[in-house]
Amino acid sequence: MSSFFSHVKRGIHETMNHDNIPKRLRVVAEHIRAGSVIADIGTDHGAVPIFALKQNLAASAAACDVNDGPLAAARRNIQEEQLEEWISVCSGDGLHALQEGDDVDTVIISGMGGTLISSILEDGQTILDGVGHLILQPNMGAVNIRRWLRTNGWKLESEDIIEENNRIYEILTAIPGKADSPYSSTPLMREAEMLFGPFLMKEQNDAFRKKWTREKEQWKRVLHQLKKAGQPGQVEEKKQELMRKIRLAEEVLPDENS
């Protein structure tokens, strides 16, 4: 295996520059444990598997997608990097693209909404039986992933939040285990931790504060419009939900005037 990696590293700058991988995908890849067999679901152009193999972050990989176009692009890139022996290309819907002999221990899903990622995990639960590590990067709706993980016996292990090109991304990792352990016992605090992230709430870096300040202001604008509408029923439920979120955000975020 060492001869393989020396061969790959010699050829890196002759083909494509691995430094061009987006920041969000680089952070995703940095969570891969050495020697892992990874499956990148919704691989697009195969950027994460290629980067992971070049950087000796994984032993092998499956690049999976449901669409022919991204799979063809991934296959070309893998061939260009001469990584066909270590990265397989799999066609299929979600986790069902994987085969029994793939022996995947790490599943990566990035660049989708949190609702869709949760649906992929739910639909592929039997396939997750042998998996010990999830690395998930939702473009939005991370709260849905946290809820799914907690309901289905996955312990949230770490969280990152980053800004790239004026967009903010969260990266969550999880392992099978005590799903309640990262969260508080009180319902109100647990609701906040689900929404904002238990680890991210503690750190509160610049990206975190920027994201949730934006969200809070957007919630206030929507609430104002709903109050002007003055319609009963579902609108009233939406107003109550927004007011609850705004209160939580005001509790969590630092006082801007202090």
Strand order in the sheet with 154-164: 87-91, 58-65, 36-41, 106-113, 133-140, 167-176, 154-164
Position 230 confidence tier, pLDDT thresholds 50, 70, 90: low
> Which amino acid is residue 147, in one-letter code?
R
How far CA 66 is from CA of 27, 94, 134, 205, in Å, comes to: 24, 7, 20, 36
- Taking only the tens place, the pLDDT of each residue in 72-92 is 999 999 999 999 999 999 999
In this predicted model, which residue has the larger pLDDT, 10 or 21?
21
Contact 131, 105 (CB under 8 A): yes
Q: Give the confidence band of 6 by pLDDT, cuts at 50, 70, 90.
A: very low
Residue 192 is which amino acid? A
Nearest to 45 by CA among 14, 93, 81: 81
To the nearest whole percent, how much of the chain has pLDDT over 70? 89
pLDDT over 70 (residue 71): yes
Q: Give the pLDDT of residue 15.
A: 39
For the purposes of burial, counting CB atoms within 10 Å of the CB of 25, is it exposed (0-12), middle (13-18) or buried (19 or more)? buried
Q: Please give the structure tokens belonging to residue 19.
A: 């430094």
Distance CA 255, CA 161 (A): 21
Average pLDDT, the chain: 89
State the burial class of residue 228 (Cβ atoms within 10 Å of its Cβ: 0-12, 13-18, 19+): exposed
Q: Is 231 left (phi over 0), alpha (psi -120 to 50) or beta?
A: beta
3-state secondary structure of 234: helix
Distance, in Å, from the CA atom of 194 to the CA atom of 75, rounded to the nearest integer, reads 38
pLDDT in tens, 187-198: 999 999 999 999
Flag whether pLDDT at 11 surpasses 60. no
Map 158-218 to HEC letters.
EEEEEEECCEEEEEEEEEECCCCCCCCCCHHHHHHHHHHCHHHHHHCCHHHHHHHHHHHHH
* Local confidence band at 256 (pLDDT 50, 70, 90 cut-offs): low
Look at residue 80 in the predicted model and tell me its pLDDT. 94
- Partners of residue 158 on adjacent β-strands: 173
Report residue 73: phi and psi, to 5°: -65, -45
Give the whole-number percent of the chain exceeding pLDDT 90. 80
- pLDDT band for position 44 (50/70/90)? confident
pLDDT digits (tens, 9 = 90+) for 92-149: 999 999 987 788 999 999 999 999 999 999 999 999 988 999 999 999 999 999 999 9
